[in-house]
Amino acid sequence: MNAVVTGAGSALPAALDQDDLWEGFFAGHYAGVRAARRIFAASGVRRRHAVANPIDEDISGWGTAARMQRYLQEALPLGKQAVAAALDDAGLAPGDVGLFAVATCTGYATPGLDIRLAGDLGMPPGLQRLLVGHMGCYAAIPGLAAAGDYVTARSRPAVLLCCELTSLHVQPAQADLEQVVAHALFSDAAAAVVLQPGAGRGRRLADVVVRTDASTADHMTWDVTDLGFRMGLSPRVPDVLARHVGEVVDELLTGAGLRTGDVAGWAVHPGGPRILDVVRDELGLAEQQLAASRHVLAEHGNCSSATVLLVLEELADVDGPVVAMAFGPGLTLYAALLLPA
3-state secondary structure of 323: strand
Neighbours of 32 (CB within 10 A): 9
DSSP string covering 123-182 = --TT-EEEEEES--TTTHHHHHHHHHHHHHHH---EEEEEEEEGGGGPPPP-S-HHHHHH
3-state secondary structure of 9: strand
**Helices of type H across 217-325:** 237-254, 273-283, 291-300, 307-314
CA distance 309 to 195: 13
Of 1, 2, 10, the residue nearest 316 (C-alpha)? 10
**Phi, psi of 13, rounded to the nearest 5 degrees:** -70, -175
Q: Is the CB of residue 127 less than 8 Å from the CB of residue 97?
A: yes
Q: Is the CB of residue 300 less than 8 Å from the CB of residue 189?
A: yes
CA distance 133 to 245: 24
With 0-12 / 13-18 / 19 or more C-beta atoms within 10 angstroms meaning exposed / middle / buried, residue 218 is exposed
∠ CA 248-252-257, rounded to 5°:
140
Q: Is the CB of residue 119 less than 8 Å from the CB of residue 92?
A: no
What distances in angstroms separate CA 132 from CA 25, 193, 262, 335, 336, one per listed residue? 33, 15, 32, 17, 17
**Catalytic one among 105, 137, 162, 163?**
137
Cis amide bond preceding 54, omega within 30: no
3-state secondary structure of 340: strand
Q: Is 163 a catalytic residue?
A: no
So which residues are the catalytic ones?
137
